[in-house]
Amino acid sequence: MASNQAEISRFNERSLVELVNHEHEASGKAICIPSRTREVALKAGLALLLILAMTFIALPVVALFLKSPLDTIFSSLQDPVVMDALQLSLTTSTLTTSIVVLMGTPVAYVSARFHYFGKDMADSLIDLPVIMPPAVAGIALLMAFGRMGILGHYLNAFGISIAFTTLAVIIAQVFVSSPFYIRQARTSFEDVDLAFENAARTLGASRIYTFFHVILPIAMNGLISGAIMAFARSLGEFGATIMFAGNFQGRTQTMPLAIYTAMQGDLDVSLCLAIILVAISFVVIVLVKTLTGRVYKKC
């Protein structure tokens, strides 16, 4: 009797285990199918979002090209408004980039390597023009360097007037584009392993020799991409320039200002200038991507 009872209880246990396993399998299948469906639905949703985002960005750019026939663009290139704006923009942006690189490189290096009193404040101040609305930057520059400005007031006494001149265009561009270079340069200098600097010093190199022969070449790609970003930003600068430098053809009317002005009269000129700026933007993106992709491996 006792052995029979034991057998029955073993049988019951086994059937219970089998039942549970069966239920698990069944529930597994039941869960499996919706989870796959969910995964496919999620991927489809993400793909749709991506396509929407791409279309949103691409559509205006494509529209720009579709709405401007090539022959109209070439004929507009002869327009003095286009030529003056193109020449002024390229000249001022090149000068701006040179100033930003010359002044920004030591600032970025000091910011990357040294700690000093008020460093956090200085770093925030450097970054400020990135988030400051361009119109605010323009009026701030006017209050500083304008005829009645804090500094401009004294300069005016010596017969020096900055506002509404080509120099004002450059100052506005330097103000808004310098953070783009300094931030990138600071990151590039921070990425240079301190061991390279130390190795150079023990091999007999002074701080200056080390900077020019070791640190600068290693950080160079980052610095160039920062300079390109600053160039692109100054080329597209509008708000601060129109507030501080005005809108005078050949003197302060850069390409974005010319696009705005021409919009009210000759749309072809606007489109021609816009296409030139789009082309430059593409070149900038390709250059920055290529340069930032070429980073030296650690040795």
Partner 1 sequence: MLEIDVKKRLRDFDLKVKLDVARGKTLMLVGDNGCGKTTLLNLVAGLDNPDKGRIALDGRALYDSDSQTNIPPEARGIGYVFQSYALFPHMSIYDNVAFGLRTRRMPPGEIKILVKDRLEAAGLWEIRKAKAADVSGGQKQRVALARALIIEPRLLLLDEPLSALDVRKQAAMRKGLSETIRACAVPCIIVTHDLRDVACLGDQACLLERGELALHGGAEEVLRWGSELDAKS
Give me the half-sphere count of Cα atoms (radius 13 Å) on the Cβ side of residue 173: 35
Q: Using the rule CB under 8 A, give the single segment among 79-87, 91-99, 164-172, 213-221 that binds partner 1.
A: 213-221
* Distance in Å, CB of 224 to partner 1, minimum: 14
Site for partner 1 in 215-274 (CB under 8 A): 217-218, 220
A 10 A CB-CB count for 208 gives 8
Per rule CB under 8 A, is residue 205 in the interface with partner 1?
yes
60, 204, 264, 293: which one binds partner 1 (CB under 8 A) = 204
Whether the CB-CB separation of 149 and 139 falls below 8 Å is answered with no
What letter does residue 67 receive in the DSSP assignment?
T
Per rule CB under 8 A, is residue 209 in the interface with partner 1?
yes
What letter does residue 213 receive in the DSSP assignment?
I
Per rule CB under 8 A, is residue 199 in the interface with partner 1?
yes
Per rule CB under 8 A, is residue 290 in the interface with partner 1?
no
The tokens describing 147, both together, are 């005829």
> Nearest 5°: phi and psi at 114?
-120, 150
> Got the DSSP string for 159-226?
T---TTSHHHHHHHHHHHHHHHHHHHHHHHHHHS-HHHHHHHHHTT--HHHHIIIIIHHHHHHHHHHH
* Distance in Å, CB of 207 to partner 1, minimum: 8
Size of the site for partner 1 (CB under 8 A): 22
Q: Using the rule CB under 8 A, give the single segment among 12-20, 37-45, 98-106, 195-203 that binds partner 1.
A: 195-203
The residues binding partner 1 (CB under 8 A) are: 193, 195-196, 198-206, 209, 213-214, 217-218, 220, 296-299
